Amino acid sequence: MKKITSISAFHRMLDLPSPLHPLVSVIRLDEANIVYGENWQHFQGEFYSIALKRDVQCKVTYGQKHYDFDIGIMSFMAPRQVHSLVREQVENASGMVLLFHPDLLWKHPLARVIRLYSFFDYAVDEALHLSEKEESDITGLFERIIKESSRIDRHTQEIIVSHIALLLSYAQRFYERQFITRQKVNYELLDKFRQLITEQFEAGSLLKSGRLTVHDLAGKLNLSPDYLSDMLRVHTGQNAQQHLQEMLIEKARELLISTKMTVAEIAYHLGFEYPQSFNKLFKAKTNCSPLQFRRSLN
């Protein structure tokens, strides 16, 4: 796997002049000379990457539905994530890529909160699809970063990072719009998510396989855990883990009411390795222990 330690090194791979600023650069893909080869099959950068691909020609489906917009597509990568390009992406490359090193954020509030932007952990096929107006907003910010990168003084870092922070806020807004415009498909995914959990309960397989995780459930839905959680939060106010815990408690109540299973047996039945962990979660969600809940029924 090719490791790229600096933005300057990435420029050299694209046969581009050195960046105007060592810690940040905006690359116009139509100016880059991308020669497809082994280096591009698996590579890892020590910097953030935000790509905007323009004029997408293909229709990509989502839950058997076409994406909302095909004007521009944005994707986000954090440092040390593994990238991979296919030949078709290289040959049809058009758009812009913002690269910035974590050191650029030093002493800026964004350094502490950038990890909260979960779309950096979305899968490639969970990209942000933009309308023409949204693409114009993002492109304008890219252009401002290019302009500011050419004049390095004591204000440069603050201004560039402020533009990046605004770009991330726009991306957060546009992703929430994307969740809303796909409301029907997303509610169908919520139903499938809850159905998967119910099926695991009914099969009684958790005693052997262990406790359900959001990661496993998201995988069965062909979604990344962060995308699933953010989508559910927009539509229901609860993330995937909260939904899972809610259904676990609901099933636990049912077993406490309708069976003579001990609290420990119920805990193991629901995939908990230790009954104490089950007791702790149950009490946190209901303000009483499982045993207190069962006694209250009498």
Mean pLDDT by 10 residues, the chain (298 residues): 89 91 93 71 87 63 44 87 64 82 94 94 88 93 95 91 97 94 87 91 74 90 94 92 93 93 92 92 94 88
For residue 23, the model assigns a pLDDT of 95
**What is the model's pLDDT at position 67?**
45
Gap between the Cα atoms of 142 and 180, Å rounded:
26
pLDDT given for residue 14 in this prediction: 87
- What is residue 178's predicted lDDT score, i.e. its pLDDT? 92
* pTM of the entire predicted model: 0.82
Q: Domains in the chain, ordered, with CATH? A: 2-181 (2.60.120), 184-296 (1.10.10.60)
CA atoms of 97 and 196, how far apart (whole Å): 38
For the chain, the distance separating the N- and C-terminal CA atoms, rounded to the nearest angstrom, is 63
